[in-house]
Amino acid sequence: MGYRFQIRSAGILKLAIAIFFMAAISFMNCGAGDGGKTEVNLLGFFNEQIDSFKDGKKFRGRIESSVAAEELTEETLRAAGAAIKYDTDHVALQSARMLVQLGFQKDPLYHSGIRLLRDELILGTLLESGLKRDGELTDYILETVQSSVPPQHISKFGRIFTDRLESAPDQTLLLIIAKGKITGALKILKSEEVAARISGWEEYRIALAALGDDELEETFIEDFRKANDPEAKAEHASVLGKIGTQKALKALAGEVRTGLIIEMPNVMMKSVRLDIISAMGYNFPEKEFLHDNAITDDQGYARVEQFCEDRFGISWETERPDFLTVQGFPSEPAPE
């Protein structure tokens, strides 16, 4: 009797295990559907975040990698776009920050420490929805575009920027127009009404130089070439990077071997080469070796020089300076 009970119990146990595994396989197969999961997860994430913004919370930190990796569609972005366009200032700004972070994490260079926004669905949502408003939201979107969107992606949204220029010109918008070489803005820039308002801004002159004003472009280049003060050289390099024409970039490339050093006594020394490389990298943000934090040894400078030779036909008349990026001065010993 006891023996039969043991056999029967063992059979029931095996049956229970088999049912468990079949249920698990069925569950996994349901979760591997052809697209339903992607949309629900993203919509759920966006809706949950937007609800928290409506409760006064801020967007913080990274997005879970499993969410960031999922495919975006116009449908999944609709809720975030509506929040940016129609909701309160707080909700709109936090929703924009959420989309920007998602765009950063979707970019292949994110794990290299580079923050680029190249997803055009996200860009389109931010620009179409966000630039209909004013205030901190618009400032945030424009600053993000200027710093984190490559020129070729900016140019695809030229109409949005020219429309904005006509109604609400500002310095960051002018730098975006210069970076993206949005030639459609030239007529507006030269109109009496707009010129009267902004012709005194350096960003206005930068935009004109970027869009084909040869005389202005040459003036900026000469200012850079003649500068012998390290800090002035670095500032002029930044301007040439913002102009970003072939001639401006070639002028930068030609001085990648400068020996100028910015010194803050008892604090640090910094090679101006980093400022020149950063100005070039503004126009080629996908080139990892043009980010100044990529230069950790002399080979880092050698890679940049090779790029200058290949891209701009630069040849060198001087030796490469001794290796220096940023170097702090040793601390003075505390008095006894």
**Residue 11 maps to a domain:** no
Would you give the distance in Å from CA 160 to the centre of its chain? 19
Residues 181 and 307 occupy one common structural domain: no
Predicted TM-score of the model (pTM): 0.85
Residues 222 and 167 occupy one common structural domain: no
Q: Measured between alpha carbons, how far is 139 from 144 in angstroms, rounded to an integer?
A: 8
**Residue 48 maps to a domain:** yes
Work out the pLDDT band at 18, boundaries 50, 70, 90: very low
Of the candidates 332, 188, 185, 187, the one whose C-alpha atom is nearest the C-alpha of residue 266 is 332
Residues 102 and 222 occupy one common structural domain: no
Q: Is 105 helix (H, G, I), strand (E, B) or coil?
A: helix
Query: 170 Cβ partners below 8 Å, 6+ apart?
Result: 142
pLDDT of residue 38: 41
Q: Which of 212, 236, 259 is the last residue of a domain?
A: 212
Residues 110 and 250 occupy one common structural domain: no
Residues 110 and 77 occupy one common structural domain: yes
State the residue range of the domain holding 227: 217-328
**Where is 260: in which H helix or E strand?**
none
Q: Measured between alpha carbons, how far is 207 from 187 in angstroms, rounded to an integer?
A: 12
Whether the per-residue pLDDT at 16 is higher than 50: the answer is no
Q: Dig out the tokens for 188 from the structure.
A: 């507006």
**Residue 242 maps to a domain:** yes
pLDDT of residue 61: 82
Residues 180 and 201 occupy one common structural domain: yes
**Residue 9 maps to a domain:** no
Q: Measured between alpha carbons, how far is 86 from 100 in angstroms, rounded to an integer?
A: 18
Residues 51 and 179 occupy one common structural domain: yes
For the chain, the distance separating the N- and C-terminal CA atoms, rounded to the nearest angstrom, is 92
**Residue 198 maps to a domain:** yes
Enumerate the β-bridge partners of residue 326: 270
Q: How much is the average pLDDT of 139-161?
A: 97
Work out the pLDDT band at 281, boundaries 50, 70, 90: very high
**Residue 306 maps to a domain:** yes
Number of domains in the chain: 2
Residues 321 and 232 occupy one common structural domain: yes
Residues 161 and 259 occupy one common structural domain: no
Residues 177 and 299 occupy one common structural domain: no
Whether the per-residue pLDDT at 115 is higher than 50: the answer is yes
Backbone angles phi, psi at 131, to 5 degrees: -80, 5
Q: Which of 212, 238, 254 is the last residue of a domain?
A: 212
For residue 279, the number of C-alpha atoms closer than 13 Å in the C-beta half-sphere is 29
Q: Which of 160, 179, 212 is the last residue of a domain?
A: 212
Q: Is 19 exposed, middle or buried (0-12, 13-18, 19+ CB in 10 A)?
A: exposed
Query: 103 Cβ partners below 8 Å, 6+ apart?
Result: 117, 118, 119, 122, 123
**Residue 291 maps to a domain:** yes
H helices present in the chain, as ranges: 2-31, 36-54, 65-68, 74-86, 89-106, 120-130, 136-148, 151-154, 158-167, 171-180, 186-190, 192-198, 202-210, 214-226, 230-243, 246-253, 272-281, 298-312
pLDDT of residue 273: 97
Q: Which range is most confident: 70-74, 75-79, 203-207?
A: 203-207
**Where is 336: in which H helix or E strand?**
none
pLDDT, tens digit (0-9, with 9 covering 90-100), for 283-335: 999 999 998 789 999 999 999 999 999 999 999 999 999 999 999 987 555 55
Residues 265 and 148 occupy one common structural domain: no
Residues 273 and 207 occupy one common structural domain: no
**Residue 46 maps to a domain:** yes
Backbone angles phi, psi at 117, to 5 degrees: -115, 105
- The string of DSSP letters for 289-320 reads GGSGGG--SHHHHHHHHHHHHHHH----SSPP
pLDDT, tens digit (0-9, with 9 covering 90-100), for 247-271: 999 999 999 999 999 999 889 999 9
